[in-house]
Amino acid sequence: MADKESTVYVVDLGESMADCHNGRVESDLDFGMRYVWDKISDTVAASRKTWTIGFVGFNTDETENELADKDKLEGYDNISVLQPIGPMSMTELRELRSKVQPSRSYGADPVSAIVVALKMLENYNPKHKIKRRVILVTNGESSIDDEELDHIAAVFNEFKAELIVIGIDFDDADYGFKEEDKSTNKKNNEKALQQLVEKCNDGVFGTMQQAVDELSIPRIKPVRPFKAYDGPLTLGDPDKYPSAISFHVERYYKTKRASAPSASTVVVSNNNGFSQSQTYKDEDGDFEMGGAEFSGVKQMRTYKVNDPDAPGGKRDVDFEELAKGYQYGRTVVPFGESDLSITKYSTKKSFTIIGFIPFDSYNPFINMGETGLIVPQKMNEEAELGLSAFIHALYEADSYAVARYVQKDEAAVQILLLKPNTGLEDEFECLYDVPLPFAEDIRSYQFPPLDKVLTVSGSVLKEHRLLPNDDLKDAVSDFVDAMDLSNYDVDEDGKPVDYAPVDEVYNPIIHRMNQAIRARAVDPDSPIGQPAEILLRYSKPPKKLLEKAKHEIGNLIDAAELKKVPEKAKGRFGKKDAVKPLSGLDVDSLLGGQPKRAAISSENAIPEFKQMLAAAEDDETIEKAVKQMGEIVRKLIKDSFADVFYSRAAENLGVMREELLGFEMPMLYNKLLRALKKSLLSGELDGDRREMWYKHIVGGGLGLITKEELDVSDVTEEEAKAFAK
């Protein structure tokens, strides 16, 4: 059953919340709402109907609450319910944001606002089991009546509700924050709120500075256990051999790759049929976001073949007429629907041990992917005893097991390595598994040795300009020792500090994307802030370590004779300046000058294109080289079966773009690209080649050269973006 929870935010909107304190350039309200908006946007993003939100503002100019309006009780003035408890949509979030503004009022009791929140929780699903929470945000300037604190705490305890008080500039000795020159009124109010929290069985009292600082720490989404396999683990065939071993096990994922949020393609919709605002995708693929309505894009694909007798030379083909074809050499071997079963390897669900290998015979670098966790079936004593005995037998034999694994019928076969975990260290007995490669998955390459040079005659040279001398070896060794992360810092007890614990290394792509989405959802008009420092922590070595290794780094630079390579110089008027080598030698003269090339071959296009440009003495030669390279790109695309030659064509195009940037002749590249796009989208290059344009050219950053890249270009950034669509 899904967990249910209701949270009511009680926020001080008084006149004093508009002021800035303690050197901040934002008001107390904006500072506190950074925490509130972050929490609310997380709830909205979860899109769970069982997670509900209410919002109460006190010190408002108006009074809108049940205790004052209906029950006519005193002490509840200037308290307004800005959002009744319920699921919150994106539209409601933005409507609430427009209401959260500092008022000109003061004097409302924050404890009375807490009572209003309690009343809202009491009226909302009173008979259901639900987690209730009240979060108070205030700067503590409003006076508090502390006579009813015991009674209010008793109500919290009776409802089993949680009270969280986060004060702006409240003192927190544990966090190390203390506000200087605090008024007596604020001290007394702060003390009263802390007493209320302490009287509650489930209460938290803290300072807003800590809450805001912790917003930069990514929140890991909790994942429910997913059972990938539930069945027997066998050693031998139990159906044929009585001595075979079989016990029931369950397999779960221990590690699994997390992915960044995906985007949906939408367009502004002309449909005005919504009766109420929605923030989710409906059956027609429509969205509603902040009052602007969008529709999901529906794609339709058509298939055409060349037919000289048809109008336009092409004829439409139904999807049912298509067959799958596999490339075999330079031909295609077709398979109809009835033949596809022949190509598929039929399998049955199974988990069978096929052998064992010693610990020291296994190379960890051949691990193929995600780790699994194998435990005995729940409430099965025979399975628990059997798997436990098997784990301890592997451990005592210093061996891994190798198993053939098929997750379900007709699934792909995997070979898994099973590692015993006896629970001596973590008190958890299980098997860990990692997939092993098949023979086709292994890449075996031969590389020249690093400690010697082999000549053509077979001689072995121990001293060579490509080999490090003793001074360089010593400098590298000292540098590695100085950059040792295991000893870069120590804690209060003098023990080494772990530099990068696994539970503190966050994926910057995922959490930066989440940060950007959350910021744009709450305030679409404000710029998105910089990535959190915790996401950039491991993008560079620690400053303390670099400072410590400064001497060793200097010695390494001297020993390796490292020199800064000059930037690539650009000439003017269509001619690149030649970069002089550091040696000062005229390499062209030594090699007899640059040979003049009349034509560029498709087999060696890139080097020959560069040679032709380097030897060019006029613009006509450069134009000739670009024209030849363009024809090679077009031929590669036209001769490509599916996308086989697309990458090669894009590489040639990228080199052409880079070289013409250097020659400051963007008009040649832009002219060629405009013609190429027309050919790609019109089907002139033997069929539908739109994938080449959108994936390899636009997606590969090979668009038009703009003024921002080169001043002499006549293409603006907006024109380039429009051209790419």
Candidate from 123-132, 361-370, 389-398, 459-468 with smallest mean pLDDT: 123-132
pLDDT in tens, 338-391: 777 777 888 999 999 999 999 999 999 999 989 999 999 999 999 999 999 999
Tokens 């990938």 belong to 228
| Phi and psi angles of residue 6, each rounded to the nearest 5 degrees, phi first | -125, 130
**Average pLDDT estimate for 96-116:** 90
Say whether pLDDT at 584 is over 60. no
Per-residue pLDDT at 291: 45
Q: d(Cα 673, Cα 684) in Å, to the nearest integer?
A: 15
pLDDT value of residue 228 = 94
pLDDT category of residue 620 using cuts at 50, 70 and 90: confident
| HSE toward the beta carbon, residue 498, CA cutoff 13 A | 6
Give the closest residue to 372 by CA, choosing from 415, 316, 427, 424.
415
Average pLDDT over residues 175-199: 89
Reported as a single tens digit per residue, the pLDDT across 89-101 is: 888 888 898 899 9
- Segment 146-161 mean pLDDT: 90
The percentage of the chain sitting over the pLDDT mark of 70, rounded to a whole number, equals 91
Which of 324-333, 335-344, 644-653 has the lowest average pLDDT? 335-344
Instruction: Express each pLDDT in 510-556 by its tens digit.
Output: 999 988 888 888 787 788 888 888 888 888 888 888 998 999 999 99
Tokens found for residue 533 = 């420092």
- Place 591 in a pLDDT band, splitting at 50, 70 and 90: low
Per-residue pLDDT, 235: 94
pLDDT at 281: 45
Question: Most confidently modeled of 33-47, 311-325, 399-413?
Answer: 399-413
Q: Is the pLDDT confidence value at 583 over 60?
A: no
Predicted model pTM: 0.69
In angstroms, rounded to a whole number, what is the distance separating the alpha carbons of residues 507 and 530?
A: 16
Higher pLDDT, 584 or 83: 83
Coil, helix or strand at residue 698: helix
| Cβ neighbours of 368 (radius 10 Å) | 14
Distance between CA atoms of residues 517 and 261, nearest Å: 9
Q: Is the pLDDT of residue 574 over 50?
A: no
Q: Closest Cα to residue 397, out of 412, 413, 416, 419?
A: 419
pLDDT at 441 over 80: yes
The reported pLDDT for the residue numbered 164 is 95
Give residue 580's pLDDT band: very low, low, confident or very high (50, 70, 90).
low
In single-letter form, the type of residue at position 561 comes to E
Question: Residue 431 burial by CB count (10 A; 0-12/13-18/19+): exposed, middle or buried?
Answer: buried
Q: For residue range 208-237, what is the model confidence (pLDDT) as tens digits?
A: 999 998 888 888 877 888 999 999 999 999
Residue 301's φ and ψ, nearest 5 degrees, are -115, 135
The predicted pLDDT at position 610 comes to 86
What is the model's pLDDT at position 438?
A: 94
CA atoms 481, 486, 490, 495: torsion sign: negative
CA distance 48 to 42: 11
Q: Write the pLDDT tens digit of every residue in 155-181.
A: 999 888 999 999 999 988 888 888 888
Residues 353, 391: Cα–Cα separation, whole Å: 13
pLDDT of residue 435: 96
Whether 239 shows a pLDDT value over 70: the answer reads yes
The rounded distance, in Å, linking the Cα atoms of 721 and 725 is 7
